[in-house]
Chains A and B, each alone.
Chain A
Amino acid sequence: MIVGKQKPLDDIWNRVKEFEKLLVFGCNTCVAVCHEGGNKEAEILASLLRMRATQENVSIDIRNSGIERQCEHEFFETAEKEIEWADAVLSIACGVGVQFMVKRYPLLRVYPGLDTTFMGDVEKPGLFTESCQACGKCILDLTAGICVMSRCAKRLLNGPCGGSTKGKCEISKEVDCAWQLVVDRLETLGNLDEFVKVIPLKDWSTNRDGGPRKLIHEDLET
């Protein structure tokens, strides 16, 4: 899933305070799971902004709403009226959702209320960790199922580097060394011989480096 984090309230406020009718708009899938961008969070954020408006004596009408997913047309129907009402939308979806709204409503002002942080998993309640970079060519078969693209601070294909200490990465004692995890898992599975094979140069053309990516299913296109 996609994980995001709300921008600081000051930043959001300074961005939206000039408008008269503001809609705080949640996205109730990925970013709701991490409790940052769902419809409930939209409600809370809207009341915080209203309080701020009162404190600063700014006249602004703030409503909140949300849909299941801001990245697909079919979910927008229920919110069309509120969107039409607003002169600006503060979307707390991920960057995909914000841009989808920009595409869908060419004349509407849409601003991001979240920083989209990473693609990750829910390791345990309240802990979300990055685990994929969408490099476009999965190599998990070569690295014992550990994504070194996203979990090694130097994205080394042939680690661990010389900074790996007691299972932790050289950048911080709080960060696991991805390559320690690879080695541990290779050992558990009895595959340590795999380790000495050199993983060849990566083709980055499937990554962001190759330009924006698309997936087309001609049979499904309308």
Chain B
Amino acid sequence: MNTKTPSKLEKILAAGHMAVTSECGPPRGSNPEAITKKAEMIRNHVDAINITDNQTSVTRLCSLAACIRLKLMGVEPVLQMVTRDRNRIALQSDILGAASFDIHNILCLTGDHQSFGDCPQGQNVHDLDSIQLIQTVRHMRDEGKFIGGDDIQRPPSMFVGAAANPFADPFHIRALRLAKKVNAGVEFIQTQCIYNLDRFEKWMEMVRDLGLTEKVFILAGLTPFKSAGMAKYMKNRVPGMDVPDEVVSRMAETPKEKQAEEGINICVESIERLKELPGVAGFHIMAIEWEEKVPEIVERTGLYPRPQVS
């Protein structure tokens, strides 16, 4: 087994197991229990937990501090880092900060535009973009050097991830964009939430045709619907989201008190179908403010217990 970092997530994937990750959004305040409680609910059912970085551009407790909380409780974090808010000095500095706590996974993202959040009048930085951030982390890890060329004492040792959205446009270049991320050095991918399985399968076929599944681990992203209202909202209001009409009507036709259960059923059925899809290396289950449902989903899809690696 060939791994480049001490990351547990990397070890599980390299050993050929289906990986399971999940994510927690930090609170809009400084109470650490908001993170530790969520993590407690799911720690035994997932291999690593992503901490989002001011998602949808709403100011929250920082991703790095929340990742340290996870680390202190013995849970493996995935540090999400967006290029929207920090220049290359701050990005490198935060990577070193994370490395000093032995945080071994990073997810390199661009971030939503700030106009969606609570500071629409703020600046956006984008000194680097997500692809250049991937390059930067690989450079820091593999060459042991800063962007500026100086040596790093004790370089970071991080398994480098990124997101992919198979549902954004233009569709036909979405696999090529993944190829670009692979060229930049990405090692694992967590996808945008999948509701349109046909389109996802088509994308995976294009990804396989480019030989990318040999080079990068792809974790399929899923978010269960809590209600028909949420399905409609995701369909109409969230940029880059593809929710087919059948899925919305399946939720809408379910009586209100059964909708949450139906949302979980859809998620479980999707995982069952995608488990069979060549190139899918695991699942990223994003149960938004509904973390308590993750164990049920993992158990019902036969992904429990989680493998032990050392």
Contact of A158 among B147, B180, B240 (CB under 8 A): B180
Q: Tell whether, in the assembled complex, residue A198 and residue B183 are in contact, meaning their CB atoms are under 8 Å apart.
A: yes
Closest to B88 in A: A201
CB pair B124–A154 under 8 Å, yes or no, is: yes
Q: Mark B124-153, 1 if CB is under 8 A from A, else 0.
A: 101111111001100000000001000000
Q: Could you give 8 example pairs across A and B, Cβ below 8 Å?
A: A158-B132, A162-B168, A167-B170, A171-B115, A195-B177, A198-B131, A200-B132, A201-B128
The reply to whether the CB of A170 lies closer than 8 angstroms to some CB of chain B is yes
Nearest opposing residue in chain B for A153, CB measure: B113
Within the complex, which residue of B115, B128, B136, B240 is in contact with A165, where a contact is CB–CB below 8 Å? B240
Is A124 among interface residues, defined by CB-CB distance under 8 A?
Answer: no
Partner of A156, one of B88, B129, B165, B179: B129
The answer on a CB contact under 8 Å between A160 and B177 is yes
Knowing A165-B169, A166-B169, A180-B170 touch, does A196 contact B179 (C-beta < 8 A)?
Answer: yes
When the two chains form their complex, are residues B129 and A163 in contact, meaning their CB atoms are under 8 A apart? no
Complex: A170 Cα to B113 Cα, angstroms: 8
In the complex, are the beta carbons of B127 and A204 less than 8 A apart?
A: yes
Distance from A199 Cβ to chain B, minimum over Cβ atoms (Å): 8
The answer to whether the Cβ of B112 comes within 8 Å of any Cβ in the partner chain is: yes
Please list the residues of chain B having a beta carbon within 8 angstroms of any beta carbon in chain A.
Answer: 84, 88, 110-113, 115, 124, 126-132, 135-136, 147, 163-165, 168-170, 173, 176-177, 179-180, 183-184, 192, 239-240
* A99 interface contact, C-beta 8 A: no
B110 pairs with A155, CB closer than 8 A:
no
Would A195 and B180 count as touching, CB distance under 8 A? yes
CA A158 to CA B178, docked complex, whole Å: 11
Q: Is A163 touching B179 in the complex (CB atoms < 8 A)?
A: no
How far in angstroms is the closest Cβ of chain B from A18? 30
The residue from A154, A170, A197 contacting B240, defined by CB atoms under 8 A apart: A170
Distance in angstroms between the alpha carbons of A180 and B173 in the assembled complex:
10
Alpha-carbon distance between A154 and B109 when the two chains are bound, in angstroms: 12
The contact string, 1 if C-beta is below 8 Å from chain B, for chain A 136-162, is: 000000000000000001111111111
Partner of B170, one of A156, A164, A200: A164
Asked if residues A162 and B165 are in contact (CB atoms below 8 Å), the reply is yes
Q: Residue on A with the closest CB to B167? A: A162
- Given A158-B130, A164-B170, output 17 extra A-B contacts at Cβ < 8 Å: A154-B84, A155-B126, A158-B129, A159-B129, A161-B130, A162-B165, A162-B239, A163-B112, A163-B168, A165-B240, A170-B113, A171-B115, A180-B169, A192-B173, A196-B176, A198-B132, A201-B147
Q: How far is the CA of A155 from the CA of B124 in the complex (A)?
A: 9
- Cβ of B179: which chain A residues have Cβ within 8 Å of it? 196
Chain A residues within 8 Å of B, Cβ to Cβ:
153-167, 170-171, 177, 180, 183-184, 192, 195-198, 200-202, 204
Knowing A155-B126, A192-B176 are in contact, say whether A165-B239 is a contact too (CB < 8 A). yes
Q: Please, which residues of chain B bring their CB within 8 A of the CB of A177?
A: 169
Chain B residue numbers with a CB within 8 Å of A184 are 170
If the complex has contacts A157-B132, A170-B112, are A163 and B239 also in contact, measured as CB distance less than 8 A? yes
**Interfacial chain A residues near B131, Cβ < 8 Å:** 157-158, 198
CB pair B180 A164 closer than 8 Å: no
Assembly CA distance A156 to B110 (angstroms): 9
CA–CA, A193 to B138, complex, Å? 24
Q: How far is A162 from B173 in the complex, measured between Cα atoms in Å?
A: 12
Please give me the 7 A-B residue pairs with the lowest Cβ-Cβ distance, nearest first: A162-B165, A170-B239, A158-B131, A163-B239, A156-B129, A162-B240, A162-B168
B163 — which chain A residues lie within 8 A by C-beta?
162
Instruction: Specify which chain B residues have a CB less than 8 angstroms from the CB of A164 in the assembled complex.
Output: 168-170, 240
Residue pair B110, A195 in contact (C-beta under 8 Å)? no
Q: How far, in Å, is A188 (CB) from chain B's closest CB?
A: 13
Chain A residue contacts of B240, Cβ below 8 A? 162-165, 170
Interface centre among B136, B170, B192 (most CB of A within 10 A): B170
Q: How far is the CA of A177 from the CA of B113 in the complex (A)?
A: 13
The residue that A157 contacts in the complex, of B111, B129, B176, B183, with Cβ under 8 A, is: B129
B113→A171 contact, CB < 8 A: yes
CB distance from B119 to the nearest CB of A (A): 14
The answer for the CA separation of A159 and B163 in the assembled complex, in Å, is: 13
Contacts of A196 in B (CB 8 A): 176, 179-180, 183
Q: What chain A residues lie within 8 Å of B173 (beta carbons)?
A: 160, 183, 192, 195
Task: Name the A residues within 8 Å of B168 (CB-CB).
Answer: 160-165
